[in-house]
């Protein structure tokens, strides 16, 4: 057994790239028996009558057959929903993560780099490393705004194949200045991907600029609007770009249940819209309540979560919240700009009230 283990370790060391061995797998916390406010999910389920209609729709789905490989009907529904400019097409992925991976696989030539402001969505850096690209993080300002001069310098020096801009940004929740993004689009020698995962809560978009900039792609997802379990990401852009990335897409990546469910959801989008409107209102209420707690600094957000810092060490607050039955995201280990920070997803009114009660007790405890 000892020799076998050594043999496996030797083979792993020989065959797995060093930069992959140096990574840690993406961690998802166990939320069993906890109020789950850590993953920016929509806390609401569909009304029972709508759920029954959905299940009736799924009854007729042919799960013994492969799905439509190009998701033609769903893509058309999404194009109508997004209001795309003329000539712009869509590519669908198994969540936004797959689309980010397809983009970077497509441009991973020798020496290619990726630029993004930091802190931001961790998968930009992780997937860049997966495909052997250099990741260049450009620090945000102290109030988490884009640093236009630093971004322009990074673009000039590194000539990135891709610039990623989360709009609103995750985990900070803010919208970057639109004119600064326009300047990046003009300066970037490669693609600029504006990731609008939280568009439903910000109601601001770069979709109308598609076609004006030939290097602009816009990412969307249905996850934050209540369909996280479906894993459906949407990439909008010029057909010439999408045709190349489509070559890297694995066949049948959008399964039949996801296609049927997403088509059904888009036919009842008013339910999703009402839920996101409720979350936007609750976000502002929750922010004002956090501002009233002693020793708490909370940042404004255009997403469905709030970033905050506590005078009490974040690790201790996080542990107290978990013991009190509430799971949020502890970002303290990220260090630098996020030192001492925590992030909470906006839940239902009952969940938000419970979170505030447990947080207040955690802040008061020694």
pLDDT tens digits for range 267-319: 999 999 999 999 999 999 999 999 999 999 999 999 999 999 999 999 999 99
**Token digits of residue 80:** 């109508």
Residues 236 and 284 both lie in one domain: no
Please check whether residues 280 and 329 belong to one and the same domain.
Answer: yes
User: Among 111, 31, 38, 135, which residue's Cα sits nearest to residue 347?
Assistant: 38
Please check whether residues 256 and 275 belong to one and the same domain: no
Q: Looking at the structure, do residues 147 and 184 belong to the same domain, yes or no?
A: yes
Read off the tokens for 70. 């190009």
Q: pLDDT at residue 247 above 90? A: yes
Residue 158 has pLDDT above 60, yes or no: yes
- pLDDT at residue 5 in the model: 59
Report the share of the chain in percent with pLDDT over 90. Answer: 88
> Could you tell me if 79 and 92 lie in one domain?
yes
Residue that is written with structure tokens 């797959």 in the block: 98
pLDDT in tens, 29-75: 887 789 999 999 999 999 999 999 999 999 999 999 999 999 999 99
Cis ω for the linkage preceding 100 (within 30 of 0): no
- For residue 193, what is the enclosing H or E element? strand 191-195
In a domain? residue 313: yes
Averaged pLDDT, 165-185 = 98
- Picking from 267, 282, 312, the residue at the C-terminal end of a domain is 267
Backbone phi and psi for residue 216, each to the nearest 5 degrees, phi listed first: -95, 130
Indicate whether 30 belongs to any domain: yes
Per-residue pLDDT averaged across 357-366, rounded? 92
- Average pLDDT on 130-145 reads 96
Interval 110-129 mean pLDDT: 97
Taking the C-alpha atoms of residue 224 and residue 196, their distance in angstroms, rounded to an integer, is 11
Highest-pLDDT range among 6-10, 47-51, 330-334:
47-51
- Assess whether 250 and 109 both reside in one domain: yes
pLDDT at 289: 98
Pair 93, 125 in one domain: yes
Assess whether pLDDT exceeds 50 at residue 240: yes
pLDDT for 2: 52
- State the pLDDT confidence band at 6, using cuts at 50, 70 and 90: confident
Give the domain range for residue 220: 61-267
Q: How far apart are CA 320 and CA 62, in angstroms?
A: 48
Q: What is the pTM of this model?
A: 0.94
Q: What is the pLDDT averaged over residues 6-34? A: 85
Specify the residue for token string 């979350």.
Answer: 279
Tell me the average pLDDT across 185-211. 97
Convert the pLDDT of each residue in 68-101 to its tens digit: 999 999 999 999 999 999 999 999 999 999 999 9
In this predicted structure, what is the pLDDT of residue 140? 97
Those residues whose C-beta lies under 8 Å from the C-beta of residue 91, and which sit 6 or more positions away, are 99, 102, 234, 235, 237, 242, 245, 246, 249
* Res 1: pLDDT: 47
Of 267, 299, 318, the domain-final residue: 267
Q: How confident is the model at residue 3 (pLDDT cuts 50, 70, 90)?
A: low
Give the total residue count for the chain.
366
Shared-domain flag, residues 263 and 275: no
> How far from the centroid of its chain's Cα atoms is residue 166's Cα?
8
Instruction: Answer for the pair 286, 303: CB distance below 8 angstroms, yes or no.
Output: no
* CA pair distance 167, 215, nearest whole angstrom: 17
Q: Centre a 10 Å sphere on the Cβ of residue 41 and count the other Cβ atoms it contains.
A: 19
Can you give the CATH number for the domain in which 19 is found? 3.90.1150.10
Indicate if 294 and 246 belong to the same structural domain: no
Q: Are residues 133 and 73 in the same domain?
A: yes
Domain count, the chain: 2
For residue 223, tell me if it sits in a domain: yes
Domain boundary among 267, 296, 314: 267
Q: Which residue, 328, 341, 279, 333, is CA-closest to 34?
A: 328
Contacts of 202 by beta carbon, 8 Å cutoff, 6+ apart? 167, 168, 175, 196, 302, 303
Give the mean pLDDT of the chain.
95
Residues 200 and 249 in one domain: yes
What pLDDT is stored for residue 191 in this prediction? 98
**H/E segment holding residue 101:** helix 96-107
Q: What is the CATH number of the domain that holds 165?
A: 3.40.640.10
Check residue 214 and give its pLDDT: 96
Apex 127 CA angle, 221 and 184, nearest 5: 70
Q: Which residues pair with 136 in a beta bridge?
A: 115
pLDDT at residue 26, rounded to an integer: 80
- Residues 97, 24, single domain; the answer is no
């Amino acid at each position: 057994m000892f020799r076998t283990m050594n043999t496996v370790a030797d083979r792993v060391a020989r065959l797995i790239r060093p930069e992959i061995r140096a990574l840690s797998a993406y961690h998802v916390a166990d939320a069993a028996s906890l109020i789950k406010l850590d993953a920016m999910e929509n806390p609401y389920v569909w009304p029972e009558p709508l759920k029954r209609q959905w299940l009736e729709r799924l009854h007729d789905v042919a799960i013994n057959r492969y799905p439509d490989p190009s998701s033609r009907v769903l893509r058309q529904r999404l194009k109508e929903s997004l209001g795309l400019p003329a000539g712009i097409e869509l590519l669908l992925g198994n969540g936004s993560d797959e689309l980010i991976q397809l983009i970077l696989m497509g441009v991973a030539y020798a020496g290619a780099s990726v630029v993004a402001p930091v802190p931001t969505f961790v998968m930009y850096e992780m997937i860049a490393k997966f495909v052997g690209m250099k990741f260049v993080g450009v620090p945000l300002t102290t109030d988490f705004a884009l640093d236009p001069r630093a971004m322009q310098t990074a673009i000039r020096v590194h000539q990135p194949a891709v610039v990623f801009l989360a709009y609103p940004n995750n985990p900070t929740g803010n919208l970057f200045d639109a004119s600064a993004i326009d300047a990046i689009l003009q300066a970037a020698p490669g693609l600029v991907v504006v990731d609008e995962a939280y568009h439903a809560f910000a109601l601001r978009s770069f979709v109308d600029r598609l076609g004006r900039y030939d290097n602009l792609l816009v990412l969307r997802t249905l996850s934050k609007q209540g369909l996280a379990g479906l894993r459906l990401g949407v990439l909008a852009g010029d057909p010439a770009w999408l045709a190349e990335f489509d070559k890297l897409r694995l066949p049948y990546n959008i399964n039949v249940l996801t296609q049927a469910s997403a088509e059904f959801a888009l036919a009842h989008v008013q339910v999703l819209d009402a839920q996101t409107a409720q979350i936007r209102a609750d976000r502002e209420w929750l922010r004002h309540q956090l501002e009233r707690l002693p020793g708490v600094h909370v940042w404004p957000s255009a997403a469905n979560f709030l970033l905050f810092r506590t005078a009490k060490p974040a690790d201790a607050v996080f542990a107290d919240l978990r013991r009190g039955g509430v799971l949020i995201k502890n970002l303290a280990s990220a260090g630098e700009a996020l030192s001492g920070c925590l992030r909470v997803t906006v839940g239902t009114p009952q969940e938000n009230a419970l979170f505030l009660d447990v947080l207040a007790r955690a802040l008061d405890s020694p």
